[in-house]
Amino acid sequence: MVLVQYGDYFYLYVLIISLIPAILLGIFEKPIKYYGFILSVLMVIAIMGIGKLFPLFLLGEIVLIKAYSIIRKKTDNRYIYFIALFCSMLPLIICKLSGLTNGINLGFLGLSYLNFKAIQMIIEIYDGAIEDINLFKILYFFLFFPTLSSGPVDRSRRFEKDLQTKISREEYLNSYLLSGIKYIIQGILYKFIIASIISSLWMNKISTDITFLNSLNYMYAYSLYLFFDFAGYSNFAIGTGYILGIKVPINFNKPFISKDMKEFWNRWHISLSKWFGDYIYSRFVLNSMRKKRFKNRIIASHFGQILTMLVMGFWHGITWYYIIYGLYQGTALVLTDIYQRKSKFYKAHKKEKWFQYTQILITFHIACFGLLIFSGYLFGKS
């Protein structure tokens, strides 16, 4: 029987039972990482089955990372770096392109999030931030099951730092175990109760006939459902990680109280936003300024925002509504920046409560319309 990660109460039951040894190890101040590694291997097999694609991917990426780390100590040749970076991206590229063909799918559960880990490591090896590759740590980083299927997107150096941290009994009980239980309870509330109610009693009852009122209704329902569902299993992952001694980064922080779209992306799918910001947006802007592609940093930033969100759209899938979604989000960020820079009205009132509440209401609808595009409802997919 294959487990459905964060999909039902049976998985929750298996998860709780499997975490008991980790809790005992934490209480007795013993290292949790070795049990966590063994548990991750078993859970990956239970969730994904014993297939051929995942082991092949894992072996290929680890060999690539180890080989490039050795090469990087001898040369910083950019062409070799670009080849290594392209090879690390290749599984995801093949998966996305295979989705365009009928009946052929060369992907597997969690490929995108696993690929982010590989790409991040190649980039940071080139930067010199990662110098040594420990095979156990990198293997555990890739196999760490709480974040397998849907993140949050972690970073290897942060993960390894947690592995090296010696946790006292008091710290484990108060900081790790208690926080982990709170996140898991919140995950149950969000995903299994609130998201389930929204889905069954509201979203699934909306007609597929695309009218203004139906679209508006679906926009609200889908946006709230997606938040509670996604934040729910993100909290499951975070809570599980904490109990295993790994402080998985948070993924959501009250996104619907954002005052503008820049703040929204600092609150929504935070780990993914930061990943794209660090490895695409920031690098594009810095490289553009260095090579003087644009007149000033503001223009470079605007192009970077459009590019970053467009790539994010393609990452979700080579489908029209994902691409439109990416362009929409990039445009929203650019217009937000222009408005805040040039509007005298904004500068005069931005600290006033009534204006801030108005901003929250407007931003909520801008964000929700983006999620309506993302849902595919307007394109006949629901």
Q: Looking at the structure, do residues 155 and 41 belong to the same domain, yes or no? A: yes
Total domains present in the chain: 2
Residue 103's pLDDT is: 56
Q: Looking at the structure, do residues 269 and 158 belong to the same domain, yes or no? A: no
pLDDT above 80 (res 62): yes
Q: Is residue 131 part of a domain?
A: yes
Residue 99's pLDDT is: 66
Tell me the mean pLDDT in the region 110-115.
91
Q: Is residue 184 part of a domain?
A: no
Residues 88/61, Cβ–Cβ less than 8 Å: yes
Residues constituting the chain: 382
Host domain of residue 115: 33-164
The region of weakest confidence among 59-73, 97-111, 177-191 is: 97-111
Q: Model-level pTM greater than 0.85?
A: yes
Q: Is residue 335 part of a domain?
A: yes
pLDDT above 70 (res 101): no
Q: Last residue of a domain, which of 164, 189, 213?
A: 164
Q: Specify the long-range contacts of residues 86-92, CB closer than 8 Å, at least 24 apart.
A: 88/61, 88/64, 88/115, 88/118, 88/119, 88/121, 88/122, 89/115, 89/119, 91/57, 91/60, 91/61, 91/115, 92/315
Q: Is residue 193 part of a domain?
A: no
Percentage of the chain surpassing pLDDT 90?
88
Compute how many other C-beta atoms are within 10 angstroms of the C-beta atom of residue 23.
19
pLDDT tens-digit map of 127-142: 999 999 999 999 999 9
Compute how many other C-beta atoms are within 10 angstroms of the C-beta atom of residue 235.
27
Compute how many other C-beta atoms are within 10 angstroms of the C-beta atom of residue 174.
11
Residue 100's pLDDT is: 67
Q: Is residue 43 part of a domain?
A: yes
Q: Is residue 153 part of a domain?
A: yes
Q: Last residue of a domain, which of 164, 186, 201?
A: 164
Q: Is residue 20 part of a domain?
A: no
Tell me the pLDDT of the chain averaged across its residues: 94
Residues 243/145, Cβ–Cβ less than 8 Å: no
pLDDT tens-digit map of 152-161: 999 999 999 9
Q: Which of 269, 302, 316, 365 is catalytic?
A: 316
Q: Last residue of a domain, which of 109, 138, 164?
A: 164
The region of weakest confidence among 2-11, 54-63, 110-119, 252-261 is: 2-11
Distance of CA 129 to the CA centre of its chain: 22
pLDDT tens-digit map of 212-245: 999 999 999 999 999 999 999 999 999 999 999 9
Residue 1's pLDDT is: 60
Residue 51's pLDDT is: 77
- Is there a catalytic annotation at residue 316? yes
Q: Is residue 332 part of a domain?
A: yes
